Structures are given as structure tokens and as C-alpha cells.
Chain A
Amino acid sequence: MAWRLKLVPEVTNFNFFRWQWFTFGGSIALMVVALVAWAFMGLNFGIDFKGGTTLRTESTTAVDVGGYRQALNALDVGDVSITEVFDPSFRDNQHVAQIRIGAQDGYEAVTPETLDKVQTALVAFDPALKVVSVESVGPKVSAELVWTSILAVMATSAGVLVYIWLRFEWQFALGGVLALLHDMLITIGIFAVFQWKFDLTIVAALLTILGYSINDTVVVFDRLRENLVKYKTMPLRDVMNLSVNETLSRTIMTSGTTLMALAAMLIWGGDVIRGFSLAIFIGVILGTYSSVYVAKNIVLLIGLDRSEKPKGGKGTPSEYANIDA
């Protein structure tokens, strides 16, 4: 037998329910923490959702946050926040800063005059400075973007719910969707706790997490469906354990390759896309966890009707024995 890298032994027999109250309770506690953090600390919304303007500056001389601030304070452009950006991919003499200006009263996007003023003031302070990108979103659009984002998350969840319901049982659909809400909520909570910037790309990341999480869960469910037919008299809990154990190698393998690819993006992909990569990275870890520890527990909690009934699912000649979970 040639050597193979095996992170998971051939046959595993973990009891994934042994710590179920700890893991499940932990998940619920984390969700509560996430909600509290979201409610009380709030999200550090980017201009996509709050309106305003961000400038990205690049210079060959070191960033002087205090100096920039002084240069801009004289302009009367309202709230200014300046952060220096670090990234391993920067050249030695590449110094990047992110400057954020609040929405100007009475205007939608930033006016060319304001922008000229800001640019002139910065260049006067540091002649080597260049403005490499400007983004400006008016309050009207940002309010709409908030709604579109909420709508997108809801529509996607609903679509997934319906699909799983059609392909499996409603309990699976509910379990799967609750599991992915768990993943998204905790990711949002982490962004709230660390006050990382939350913008449109993070919403896209959340939707991607949603897709990944459900993908993982569905694989477990698929095996569960198959085993329910195979082991008609085995208690539901044991069938679930068996199914998770059988798919464990695949779960770890796929999460592994995905996380590796994402880690590469996180480290070398540049700072512009880092928030996005980070959100997906966190989400994939949570998604893997929730497909093993959350989704099926919910199905177990609700209970499955394993009595005989015609169900159009593929490969399920409905011959379930009548056994309670």
C-alpha cells in the first residue's frame, strides 16, 4: 500500500452527540453573543451602507496620520478618519493610507470641488502622495444597498430552503437553513466584535458562506438519507452518527482544500480584497462545524417521521421502520 496523507483514519467512530449539549449550547451561546455584539457594538459599516467617501493614497514616504489629519481639518469637510494600510505584498517604499470622509450635507456623491480640495491639501503636505482610488456613495444609494443586501440574503435562504425541502424532508430543510443562519450570524458577530469594515463585498462573502455551508450540510444529509433506507431499525441518532463518520474524511478534505486556497488569497491576495477573503475563511470553518454539529442536531430535535410514506426523493424506496429518535 503506497503512502497516503490521511488526516482522518479509514474508519472513525466518533460519537458526535456525546458533547451535544456542550457543542449545541456553545453554538447557541455564540449566536447570542454575536447578536448582542451586533446590537450593541454595531457594525463598522463601509461607505456602501453609510454613504460618504473613501480615498486611498499611496506615497513613497511614510504615512503621517497626524499630518494628513491636520492638512484635512483645515478644509472643513466634516468627519475625517485616516488609517494606515499594511500588506506584505507592498513594495518597500509603498505607503498606503485609507482616508474616509463622511457624507457631505446636501450632496449625494462627493463633488469634484471637495475632492480637488482634499487632493490638493494632501499633495501640499506630501508631494510624493498620489490618490489611487476614490469611492463615493450618496445616502440615497447606500440606503438602497442595505435593503438589497437584506433581500439577497433572505431570497437565497428561501431558495435553499425550498430546494432542500423538495429533495429531502422539511426537517432537513429547516435544519440546513438554521445551520447556515448560525454561520452567517456568528460571522457578522465576529465582524462586529473586531469592528472590521463591513461593506458590500462582505455581504457577497456572507452569501458565499451560505452556499458553502449548505453544500457541506447537504453532503451529510445525502448520506443520512441513504443510511436511513439501509438501516431501517437503527435509532436515528446512531444513523446520524454513522453518516457523519462516513462523510468525515470528505468533509475534512474539502474544507482543507478550500481553506488552503483561501489562506493563499488571505496572505497574498492583497489588502483590497482581504476583508472578503477573511469573511469567507471564517465562514468556511463555521460551515464545516455547523454541518457536523448543528444541522443534524436540529433535525434530531425536531424528529423525523420514518413511517412508511411515498416520498419522491431519489433512491429512497420508502420502507422506513417506525422508530422514534
Chain B
Amino acid sequence: MNKSLIYGLLLSILMVIAPHADHLPIWVSSMCVGLLLWRGYLVYSGKALPKRWLLMSITFAGTVGIIFNFHTLFGREAGVTLLLMLAALKLMELRNARDAMVLVYLACFIIITNFFYSQSISTALYMLATLMVIVTTWVHLQAQGIALKPRLRIAAVLLMQALPLTLILFILFPRVQGPLWGLPQDAYASTGLDDRMSPGSLSRLGLSEAVAFRVTYSDKPPRRDQMYWRGPVLWYFDGRTWTPGIVTLSEAPKFTEVSQPIDYSVTLEPHNKPWLFALDVPDKLSVQSKLTYDFQVLNKEPVHARMRYTARSYLAYHANLQEAPRQLQRGLQLPRQSNPRAQQLAAEWRAGSKDDAAIVNTALSYFYKQGFVYTLEPPLLGSNTVDDFLFGTKQGFCEHYASAFVFLMRAANIPARVVTGYLGGEFNEVGNYYIVRQSDAHAWAEVWLAGKGWVRVDPTGAIAPDRVERGLSAALSDTAALPFMERNPPEWMRSLRFDLDALANQWNQWVLGYDTERQFAVLTRLGMESVTWQNMAINMMSGLAIVIALFALFMLRHLYTRQPDKVQAVWLKLCRKLADAGLPRAAHEGAQDYAVRVAAARPELAEAIHDLATRYTALRYGAHREEQAQREFIHLIQKFPSFRRTS
């Protein structure tokens, strides 16, 4: 097999494996790199391929390694890892064209596994580059004698022509809502809010720049300090971790709105949990979902794919004015033995005041006055987390404040609960929408006050009002370990970032989010009257046929249109003239031979025919054709006498 062909295959496999490097176990990555280098060396030096038993034992060792690493051979992670390893190993036993073909198909297949991890625009561009390399190698495999440049050209043209056809297929291919079969648990990877909150769980998210969701407001956006995106509500505290506890009530919540409704649409990134995010408090959503008694919006199933919904919320409200006693009881649960100092402090406040609202204010001012610090990197806490925080470290992120505050309220006999979600968001002027990132994750508290219902209290606002009003970067000092972009970047970088995110948003909406519904909407808008799969198929086929026919016309056009050579055409005219004189040119006869024969038969034409034959040969077969000479030649033939046909 051709050396450069093997280099092409090596490059193809390298390109399909490379994007997996960041999530493969390090030993698999190094094994693949090692195998590729080894193969490259063997090609370079022209040495023989390794023996079969050696390859078999490497394969066996690798498989055992994967089983040890993942505890299974199935499932997404283990399967992809195995596939990548086998592709690298297949290179080692590349002996004939069939093996090469298997590798080419394998490479195409492996590209798709990368889409489990990323489907961004850059991934798409990288896919095109990879395809280009693979197809070039593919063409090379079929015609080993063909040089690199024509190979690249064929591959590029093929790819370019496939693009518009792919667009037609993409728009019109009837979409089926997956999944077709059960997916392994690890089918989705994500970061996002959990329904457990312990010290450090939100500050971990604070470092992530991943997008949680994007929001477009129908009218004027609300004030920033009102953008509380409600997520899981946590009731049960075990002294360290907050969890939702056991759900006992399935009643719908009641609230009376005191403000105008606000409408918006959310594009939620998949986070593999059932909850949907809406502004406090949500009234109704465009997708089928359930509003729980504590105002959480739950999807029917975990959100595995990006989804879009519109929602309506009321930013000012009275929630559950008539709360069930059982709920109020749940709002007072405490691990009685833990955090004695905090319980004692709350008892002092209770004794000093009969008014619940006054106690809430006392607690907030306590945070404000006692020198608490808002930081992403709080010191570790001991077993009595609340006591250690309140009286020891006094440094914390939002979950510390929410947790301590709710604990104090409950100890003071005020029903309270922790609410997690997101706060704020970043406005993108380019796309006119808000981006809410994982770093906007937040936790706050709700207390139940008689006559007011559940009231939101954000203790973080007491310590770092900037966090609520301006965002995380404003609330933290510059030295904090914030993501680079969360600090204050230069203006041009900010605008570039907004442009890119706006592009990514369009990409998400129109390419990645192109599902059954969106397809229906798009096709209706394109003027399709009844969107059935039959209609789609018919339109798809005819669309493809038309475009392919156009390509065919363009590609085959110059094969069918004869481009008669002017010089040859007039020469043939001369031959016809002489044929009329009884001297037809034989098919095998060249110009000079013919001239000799004509000259012998008609000596009076000898000089002219020799001259013309010489000119013809020079014009037709010479390296350069001069305009002047060509005109003279044509002129001479036109002047050549015609003969009456001798029949």
C-alpha cells in the first residue's frame, strides 16, 4: 500500500480521536497516541507490521483496562472508548484495501460519537475539516496514482456539492422524536443545579461559564434584582445538606397577583433533571408541566435535549396565604441537636420580639453588621456547619447565607425554606436576549409570614447587594478565582463575546433545536399547506432531484457540447472540396501524406496543397497558435478552388 495513503489514514484517525482527548481516560489517550506514532514510524521506516499475537494481547489488555476503568463494556463512555481504541489498533493491521475501507467507515462513524459531547459551531467546522481529510484519503484509496492536488479538488467539490443537498435533507427529512430505545444512564453529560445543597455545591457552579438557559422577554425586561429564576425548593435539613424532603402534598399552589404579568421565552440547555426554570412566581408554561405546591415547575421527564418554552410570571404576589398546617410544620423542621449556638441566638431574637417580620430584619442586619464576607472560596466548615459559619469563619457563598438564614428562622419558629435557582443574567445586545450561566446559580430563602404568605428573603443581598443588583463579578473582589470572562473584560472582548453567543444562540435554535415542532413551524412558514411526512418526502425527493440535475448539467455540460476546432473545421472543408475533385482523404491519412497524394494526382495543386498542409500541421499541432496565421489559413482555404462533383 502507498505510503502517503497510510499517512492519510493516520491523519484521519488522529483527527477523529483528537476531540475525545479531554474526556478519555489518560491511559487510553496515551495508548492511542502511542499506537499512531508507532504506525507512523513503521510506515516511515518501511518495517513490517507487528505480529498478530502481539496485537491480540494489546487488544485484550486494552479491553480489560476499559472494564476496570468503567466497570462495563457497554454504555456510552465505555463504548466510545472501546471504539476509539479499536480504530487505533485497526491501523496496526492495515494490510489491504479492505482494511483501509473499514478504517474509513470507522472514522466516519467515530465523528458522530463526538457529538455526544459537543455540537457547537466549532465542532461543526471541525467535522467539515475532518470529512475533507477522510474523503481525500478515500479518493486516494480508489485511485492510488492520483496526485494530492486533484484528490483534494475532487474531495472539496464533492463536499461543496453535498452541502446544499444536505440542507434540503435537513429541513425536509421527517423528524422522529427520539429516543427509539432506552438510553443508558450515562447517555447525557451535564452540569447544573442539583436538588441537594451543601456548603460548596453552588460555589462550585460559580466557576462554570456554561450556559444554563437563554431568555427573551416579550416586553420590557424586569429589574435585575427581580430576576429570580426558581429551581428546586429544599425543605429538609440534616445539619449539613438541604434536600427537598419527602413530598407529602400534591395540591396546586394558590397565589394572588399584585402586579402585571410578564411574558418571556426560555431556551433551556439539557441538564438531565426534570425541573424547568421560571421567574418567581410562574403562572403558566407553554409546555406540559406540573406546578408543585411550592411553585416549582416540573417537566414530565428529565430534560435531555435543549427545549424551548414560553412562560408567564408575576413578580409581585401573595403566595399560599392559607398554607396547610402540615406545610408550616415542615417549614420548621430542624435537627434539634445540631448547631446549639445558632439555636440559642434565634431563641434570644424570639424572646426579644413578637413580630416575625422584625426577626427577619434582625437576622439580615446581623449579617450586615457582623462583618460577613461574600466569597467564592469559603473556608471549610466543621460538623456544625451553621455555627462554624456564623461564629467562626464568617465567609461564605450564597448557599452558606441561605442555609444559615433558614436555620435561624426555623429556630425562631418562623416557617422557612431554601430556594435554589439562578439570579440575573447577562444581556446580549446583539441578540436582544439574556444569557443565564451556571455561574449565576443562586440560593435564597423564603419565610412564611401571616397575612403575607411566602416572602422571598435574600440574605446574600444584605452582605453583597451588588450580587443581586449587578451580578457576581461586581460582588467579588478581582482576585477571586472567577472565570476569566466573569471579571471585567475589555469592551471589545465583551462585544465579541456577545456576537459569538448570539451566533451560538441562533445555531442552537435553528440547527440543534430543529425538532418536530420547529420543522412544522418552518415548513408552514415556507408555505407548505399540510405538513405530513408524505408531503415532506415528496418535496424532499423533488428538491434533491432538481439540485442533482442542476449539478449533473453543470458537470457533464462540457462533455456533450463539442467544441469544434476552427482550424480543423476549415481543413475538413478543404478535404471536402478535394473529395469533390475525386480525391477523398482516407481516414488514416495524415495531412502531409494526403498532400503528397493530392500533389501526385493533381500537379497543378501541388504547391497550394503542400503549403496548406504545412500551415495546418503547424496551427493544429504547434505549441502556439497565432491569430494572424490562423486568419491567413482560413482565408487561403476559402480561396481554394471548388470542384464540380465528379460522380
Q: Do A and B come from one complex?
A: no
Q: Give residues in B with beta carbon < 8 Å to A.
A: none
